[in-house]
Amino acid sequence: MTSGKYIVIEGNDGTGKSTQVRLLRKYLANIGIKSVEYHEPEGTPIANRIRDVIKNGKLVRDGYTNLLLFTAARHEIWKQAERQLEKGIWVISARNYYSTLAYQGYGEGIDIELIRQTTEQFTSQRYIKPDLAIILDLGDTARLKRLEQRGAPKTVDTFEARDINFQDRVNNGYRQLANQLNIATISADVDADSISKEIISNHLTTLIDD
């Protein structure tokens, strides 16, 4: 049986990752490819509970604790995702450890190599190197406007509530990762359907034909 493909959609909060995951799955379904989706750090009962801790901005903690929390959630999610890939099911994920490189590495100052080693120890080499990764890029003015349109979260969000300096470090982190890891970057400053068409025509079709 042919293994499924592992696809990651990345970017700062408000760039439209979840929408693109949904549109990609719709396209795959239309051409007869079965897929599942994850929205890290949620996706299993244990991971969902860890997410509640991560997203709660009232719980003060440092970057190392965040790294360990995200890694624990990822470990649980990836065990399930690997089984699906082995069955030939494609896995489409909003975020993977690239988020931790950007947020905890560039944003909170945790050593990049430590993040990579910790992640690989509790996931796998395949998780570290997806079949396809896309970073959605959007300027802060437009991005913050989208977040405002979502409405206030039930609790103060740990990362959305950080100041502009933190957000700048995260955005710079994504740019650095795109260059260092050769990850495709797509402007999210257009409508969702246009972004989806670009992902499909310029990147996804290669995987389908592979």
In a domain, 1, yes or no: no
In a domain, 26, yes or no: yes
User: Could you tell me the pTM of the whole model?
Assistant: 0.92
In a domain, 150, yes or no: yes
In a domain, 69, yes or no: yes
**Mean pLDDT (whole number) for 53-57:** 90
Number of domain units in the chain: 1
Question: Tell me: the pLDDT tens digits for 165-205?
Answer: 988 999 999 999 999 999 999 999 999 999 999 999 999 99
**For the domain that residue 11 is a member of, what is the CATH number?**
3.40.50.300
The pLDDT assigned to 158 comes to 67
Contact 83, 44 (CB under 8 A): no
Token pair for 85: 């890939």
Domain span holding position 120: 6-209
Amino acid at 112: I
In a domain, 184, yes or no: yes
